[in-house]
Structure 1
Amino acid sequence: MDLPNVSAADEVPTRIQARNREAILSAGREVFARHGLRGATLDEIARTAGMSKPNLLYYFRRKTDLYKAVLEEVLADWLSPLHALDPEGDPVEELRRYIVAKMQLSNMHPQASRLFAGEIIAGAPNIHGFLSTELRDIVARKARTIEAWVAQGRLAPIDPHHLIFAIWAITQHYADFDAQIRAVLGDRAGRPGFREEAAEAVLGLVLNGVTPR
Structure 2
Amino acid sequence: MLDLTEMFGEGWCVTLAPGSPAEVLGALGVVSAGEVSDGLERATVRLVNGAGGGVLLLGCHVAAGWSMAVELEGSTGWVGMDPAVLSALSSGGGIAVSACEDPNQLTVQLASDGAVLGWIDAVTGRRFGEDFGPLGEDLTAAGFPAPGEDEPSGAAAVLGPSQRAALAMRAATGIELDEEVFDGPWLGGISPLGA
Q: Tell me the TM-score normalized by structure 1.
A: 0.27
Computing the radius of gyration over CA atoms, which structure comes out larger, 1 or 2? 1
Q: Tell me the TM-score normalized by structure 2.
A: 0.29
Higher helix share: 1
**Relative contact order (alpha carbons < 8 A, sep ≥ 6): 1 or 2 greater?**
2
